[in-house]
A and B are shown apart, each in its own frame.
Chain A
Amino acid sequence: MLSFTLKRIAQLIPVFIGATLLVYFLVFATPGDPIAALSGGKPMTPATEAALRAQYNLDQPFWIQYGLYLKNLVTFDLGMSFSGQPVADLLGRAFPVTARLAILALLIEGVFGIIFGVIAGMRKGKFFDSTILVASLIVIAVPTFVLGFVLQFVIGVKLEWAKPTVSGAGTWSELILPAMVLGLVSLAYVIRLTRTSVIENKSADYVRTATAKGLSRNRVVRVHVLRNSLIPVVTFLGADLGSLMGGAIVTEGIFNVPGVGNLLYRAILKGETPTVVAVVGVLVIVFVIANLIVDMLYALLDPRIRYA
């Protein structure tokens, strides 16, 4: 198990370097002079300009810039944003908010997705199943930002059940509505995945044996059907954590959440390489670690899977 974990963490390194290099290059290739933008288009003394360029390493060719970035990264120096704030500070403020948002969304997806999926799967072809199937299709088809606006308008503005926008603090309770929007599309996928998996497993021999042994239906469903159906669902949830943090760009924009997505979107438009690369790097790490956890959960769910 330990060597497997170490191996997986070692695999993180090329993915991390590849992804940051790709993003660094893309942002590097973006035109527009960030230094000129910094002064608001007004003329700047050549000395100031040169100093600023040197400060952000903008006077160096691409490979040196990237190398310097990596070198600083090892000492946990993420660089400065163009407004003079350390990127680490910006990230430190935005990340917890997005983490809360993503965890809430993941909880909504996981809990409701699996419950609805199991019920639909056990009652295949019945009314509940058909309703859930149609509803999940509709949710998948409607773009997130439309869902976001509609829920914000109906729940936040008309019904006033929740605040339509989030304050600077981004507390748990404020984030429930955005998390619903963020998790809704994936919720539909989780339901469908669980349902398919349950239908496949409920006619398996071991389920028949368990029923024949006289176990209660509840126990058969919980221990025998559900546990064996969870592997594809857990795989999806793990991969989804990464896309939830990326998808937060839209949701955070709608609900004005001061999170990573907002930070990233503004940084991309400004061409602020250090911020963009730092945020993407964090997202990549989260994505890879989530997948590592998923692989470990496999062994927990299915004792046949062992990591030597």
Chain B
Amino acid sequence: MPENQNFNSEAGLPVNRRAGKVSKYKIEHYVAPLDETPLQAVDSVKETGKPLSMWAEAWRSLRKQPLFIISAILILAVIIVAAFPQWFTSQDPTYCALENSNEPGREGHIMGFNLQGCDIYSRVIYGTRASLLVGIFTTLIVIIVGGTIGALAGFYGGWIDTILARLGDIFFALPLILGAIIVMQLPAFRDNKSVWTVIITLAIFGWPQLARITRGAVIEARNADFVKASRSLGLSKFKSLVKHVLPNSIAPIIVVATVNLGVYIVAEATLSFLGVGLPPDIMSWGNDIATAQTQLRSNPMMLMWPALFLSVTVLSFIMLGDAVRDALDPKARKGA
């Protein structure tokens, strides 16, 4: 099946289309006269310029996808808000006056006030940073740790692989939130609650999944002909892993990592909601939602605003992952 599709895409679409059109209107065994379809047109292969790499081709199809454009703009916006919250609000999120407690929105304070009389809008803006930091750094650590372990296990196999499989089984059987609650109770974590403890905790339970995916992709690439060729040309095992296997197995890792970035942001909010995540003095969407739950009946918007920002951020990372997957998978790109 895959050969078939490759053949179609490599043969060049224009030629195929014309052939299809002709057979539709005329008799099936129509043979085009030579002057109508010159030989060069049939056999023509673009020889000028290098063939596009997988990434260049993926980028070309990504640029045209509305899903990608929307999510990329949203993510860019969130990153800017996280980096420069002061550009988006002149309010001090830590200035709270009890006289404003649970007041609805008014000029200058479009989202109203929370129970303590703090401006909800500025808290939402300043809360972006913690959530995004957790998402980005957890993903980075998971890629480095899980990717390395998965690549070594998949490439070398043997006992490393066996140990990884069993370790992965143990971590897999423990649900993320459950494991994270237990780890967050450890003295080293409970006494130093910060963004970093949350990041490390989530990474501890996040790496096995990425290791498994990397392992699968590496095993697939390891047996490819070009890897065998590089080995027979005298490249060392490790070098062929770094130079040939890894670059060719990175696509599924990127897709999963993008989607998981959103998942980690949700996990941080859930941990903060359960009271074991970020300390209450760090402004984050999760903390604000957690404090808002007691006020749900009197001031539901206090919960809705941070939840909305959180959801839109997570949504844009998931959409980005979806778009990248479609772009890297030629089967999906043709819209078959």
Contact = CB atoms under 8 A, between A and B. Distances in A.
Contact of A26 (B175, B186, B273): B186
Interface string B312-325: 10110011000000
A249 B173 contact: no
Interface string B211-244: 0000000000000000000000000000000000
B169 interface: yes
B185 to A, nearest CB: 5
A29 B270 CA distance: 24
A288 to B, nearest CB: 7
Given A15-B170, A23-B174, A141 B273 contact: no
Nearest to B335: A125
A153 B178 contact: no
Interface in B277-330: 289, 293, 296-297, 300, 303, 307, 310-312, 314-315, 318-319
B311 A138 contact: yes
Interface stretch (A40-48, A49-57, A144-152): A144-152
Contacts of A269: 185
B173 A283 contact: yes
A144 B270 contact: yes
Contact of B307 (A18, A143, A288): A143
Given A27-B182, A149-B296, A249-B181, A141 B311 contact: yes
A15 B169 CA distance: 6
A157 B281 CA distance: 31
Contacts of B202: none
A141 B311 CA distance: 5
A264 B177 CA distance: 12
B332 to A, nearest CB: 9
Interface string A228-269: 000000000001001101110110010000000000110011
B199 interface: no
A69 interface: no
A142 B273 contact: no
B163 to A, nearest CB: 11
B336 A203 contact: yes
Contact of A146 (B172, B307, B315): B307
A170 to B, nearest CB: 20
A153 B174 CA distance: 31
A145 B273 contact: yes
Interface residues of A, number: 44
A143 B175 contact: no
Dominant secondary structure of chain A at its interface with chain B = helix
Given A153-B296, A268-B181, A146 B174 contact: no
Interface in A263-306: 264-265, 268-269, 271, 276, 280, 283-284, 287-288
B173 A146 contact: no
Contact of B274 (A15, A23, A203, A249): A249
Interface residues of B, number: 39
Given A143-B307, A144-B270, A18 B166 contact: yes
Contacts of B303: 146, 149
B150 interface: no
B289 A145 contact: yes
A142 B312 CA distance: 8
B183 interface: yes
B185 A15 contact: no
B111 interface: no
Contact of A242 (B170, B173, B185, B318): B173
B148 to A, nearest CB: 21
A223 interface: no
Contact of A246 (B175, B273, B315, B336): B175
Nearest to B293: A149
Contact of B318 (A18, A137, A243, A276): A137
A31 B274 contact: no
A272 to B, nearest CB: 11
A253 B181 CA distance: 14
A146 B262 CA distance: 15
Contact of A141 (B176, B177, B182, B262): B262
Given A143-B311, A242-B175, A268-B185, 19 more contacts: A18-B170, A19-B170, A19-B173, A29-B187, A30-B187, A30-B190, A140-B314, A141-B262, A142-B307, A143-B269, A146-B289, A149-B296, A203-B336, A246-B178, A247-B177, A265-B181, A268-B182, A283-B173, A287-B172
Interface of B: 166-167, 169-170, 172-178, 181-183, 185-187, 190, 262, 266, 269-270, 273-274, 289, 293, 296-297, 300, 303, 307, 310-312, 314-315, 318-319, 336
8 nearest CB pairs, A to B: A246-B175, A141-B315, A18-B170, A141-B314, A246-B178, A31-B187, A146-B307, A284-B173
